[in-house]
Amino acid sequence: MEGQLVTHRLLYHFNRNAVVVVTLLLSISLAANDPPVPVPVPVRVSIATLQMSIVGSIVSKTKTSSVVLLKYLTTNEVKAHRVGSVLLGKYTLFEITEKSITLQSEKQGHTSLTIAYQDKFFQELKKAAPAALAPTGASDSYKENGFERDHGEIRITEAYKNDLLSPSKLTETLLHAAAEPYIKDGQMLGFKLDLIDEGSIYSKSGLVNGDVITEINGTPLTDAASAIRLLQSLRNAKSLSLSFLRGGVVTPLNISVQ
């Protein structure tokens, strides 16, 4: 059931010390007979930390036909790899883009995703992440077919939600942002969003880099156990509210599925 799906995903992400909050929130009212689709939150790094560099890539419309040319810095070898190749003896090449490669690994039954960027692009991300790029957030509005945000009120249709969270798009949705626990004075206050892609569901929802999701339906996100109990109680909900912290100000955001 969906409550189990959210719980399993949340447990996994808490164990990984990361979570994509908005996707979890939007998924609470999926049909009860939907099968579990556990998707890991990606870790974003410079490919140099893996002792490799991207020499070039050929990105095909067919994902499995894409090829990347990698230089191994420890040996100076240059090798071509397709999606599905095993790298460094522990990573499976999951996706290739012009700027990065996505690596999948398995450990103790858990799947992890690592997006390794060519160093210059990673440095650009690091510079852009903390910048306040005129964030209007929940004070602004956005509308497209099936999705409407009017200030702090978001309304989406069932069809829009189902498309967004379909197995073919869920991984892509999760790759559009990253998050990590936000801890102040030794106390966890919520989850801080980062590396939000322009045009993603997170951006459309008015969220920007640095926002900290602090509450769901008035319950503080201060530990895993309370968040899991909360999401279990919301398994049949069609609406919910969350609060996020931006610039020292707590802002409400309400989501409803119609």
pLDDT-derived band of residue 231, with 50, 70 and 90 as boundaries? low
Fold designation for 42-128:
SH3 type barrels. (2.30.30)
Is pLDDT of 79 > 60?
A: yes
Is pLDDT of 132 > 50?
A: no
- Report the pLDDT value the prediction gives residue 73, as an integer from 0 to 100: 92
- Report the pLDDT value the prediction gives residue 228, as an integer from 0 to 100: 64
- Report the pLDDT value the prediction gives residue 108, as an integer from 0 to 100: 67
Angle at 157 between CA 246 and CA 177, to 5 degrees: 40
Q: Are 226 and 219 in contact (CB under 8 A)?
A: yes
Q: Any idea which of 117-121, 194-198, 235-239 has the lowest mean pLDDT? A: 235-239
Q: What is the DSSP string of the chain?
A: -HHHHHHHHHHHHHHTT---HHHHHHTTTS-TTPPP---PPEEEEEGGGGTEEEEEEE--SSGGG-EEEEEETTTTEEEEEETT-EETTTEEEEEE-SSEEEEEEEETTEEEEEEEE-HHHHHHHHHHTT------GGGSEEEETTEEEETTEEEE-HHHHHHHTSHHHHHHHHTT-EEEEEEETTEEEEEEEE-PPTTSHHHHTT--TT-EEEEETTEE--SHHHHHHHHHHTTT-SEEEEEEEETTEEEEEEEEE-
For the segment 170-187, the average pLDDT, to the nearest whole number, is 78
Average pLDDT, the chain: 75
For the segment 136-165, the average pLDDT, to the nearest whole number, is 80
Q: Where in the chain is CATH 2.30.42.10?
A: 2-39+129-257
Q: Which CATH number fits domain 2-39+129-257: 1.10.10.10, 3.10.129.10, 2.60.40.10, 2.30.42.10?
A: 2.30.42.10
Q: Where in the chain is CATH 2.30.30?
A: 42-128
Q: Which amino acid is at 121?
A: F
- Report the pLDDT value the prediction gives residue 11, as an integer from 0 to 100: 34
Percentage of the chain lying above the pLDDT 70 cut = 72
